[in-house]
């Protein structure tokens, strides 16, 4: 219960931060991203400030604490590999962000204004998230099926190019194509 009150309060703090920082208005974001136009650098200031505060706070807490206050462990991401999904995802996300001038947090904060464009954005965002889930599960199934039928996959070439089809056209199932994000540590670039 206390934990939920705390996360509710943290949510409110984020909304205030997004709103006061100006990023609930798409014009601020687009004005920042369109740096060749009438440049609005304020988003840079918001982000640099946020990163600075978070960075200092993270350092202090990781040095002086072994666990968070209300949970059993610090759930910090462990992956360090740059894979195709990361880059492609960022390209796609960034393009949508640049088109609409909105991203998930500020859009949710703006929902309280009842603005129709914000509602449409959020509904479509949910649609995009769900579509990803479907696509991800389907590609995991394809990868698992390819693995389970070795006779139907041509022998792997001696140099395995991850993420590319083998010359004959059969796909080499690799960890890179598995759905979800198992903590694979290999560098996968294509």
Partner 1 sequence: MDTSTVLYSILGGLLVGLGAAAMMFMSGRIAGMSGIFSGLLKPKPGDFGWRLSFALGILAGGALLFALRPDLFTFGVSRSLPAIAIAGALVGFGARLGSGCTSGHGVCGVARLGPRSLVATATFMASGALAAFLVNHVLGGSI
Residues 71-130 that bind partner 1 (CB under 8 A): 71-77, 79-82, 85-105, 107-113, 115-118, 120-130
Closest CB 116 distance from partner 1, rounded Å: 7
Size of the site for partner 1 (CB under 8 A): 115
- 121 and 111 Cβ atoms separated by less than 8 Å: no
Quote the tokens at residue 137. Answer: 């599960």
Q: How many CA within 13 A on the CB side of residue 36?
A: 0
Closest CB 144 distance from partner 1, rounded Å: 19
Closest CB 178 distance from partner 1, rounded Å: 14
Stretch in the footprint of partner 1 (CB under 8 A) among 63-71, 142-150, 158-166, 167-175:
63-71
85 contact partners, CB below 8 Å, separation of at least 6: 181
Nearest to 93 by CA among 123, 129, 120: 129
Stretch in the footprint of partner 1 (CB under 8 A) among 39-47, 143-151, 161-169, 170-178:
39-47
CA separation for the pair 171, 142 (Å, rounded) = 10
Is 68 a binding residue for partner 1 by CB under 8 A? The answer is yes
Site string for partner 1, 137-176 (x = CB under 8 A): ----------------------------------------
When the beta carbons of 90 and 148 are compared against partner 1, the nearer one is: 90
- Residue 19's Cβ-count burial label (10 Å; 0-12, 13-18, 19+) is middle
CA separation for the pair 3, 5 (Å, rounded) = 5
Closest CB 147 distance from partner 1, rounded Å: 22
- 147 and 179 Cβ atoms separated by less than 8 Å: no
Indicate which single residue of 50, 138, 145, 160 sits in contact with partner 1 (rule: CB under 8 A): 50
């Amino acid at each position: 219960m206390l934990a939920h009150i705390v996360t509710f309060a943290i949510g409110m703090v984020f909304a205030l931060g997004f709103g006061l920082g100006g990023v609930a208005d798409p014009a601020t974001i687009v004005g920042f991203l369109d740096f060749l136009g009438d440049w609005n650098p304020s988003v840079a200031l918001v982000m640099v400030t946020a990163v600075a505060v978070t960075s200092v706070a993270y350092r202090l807490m990781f040095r002086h604490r072994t666990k968070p206050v209300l949970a059993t462990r610090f759930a910090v991401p462990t992956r360090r590999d740059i894979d195709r999904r990361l880059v492609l995802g960022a390209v796609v996300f960034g393009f949508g962000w640049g088109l609409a001038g909105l991203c998930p947090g500020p859009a949710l904060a703006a929902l309280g204004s009842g603005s129709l464009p914000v509602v449409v954005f959020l509904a479509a965002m949910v649609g995009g998230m769900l579509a990803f889930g479907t696509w991800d599960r389907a590609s995991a199934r394809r990868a698992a099926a390819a693995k389970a039928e070795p006779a139907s996959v041509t022998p792997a070439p001696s140099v395995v190019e991850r993420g590319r089809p083998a010359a004959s056209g059969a796909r080499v199932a690799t960890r890179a194509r598995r759905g979800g994000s198992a903590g694979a540590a290999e560098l996968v670039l294509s």
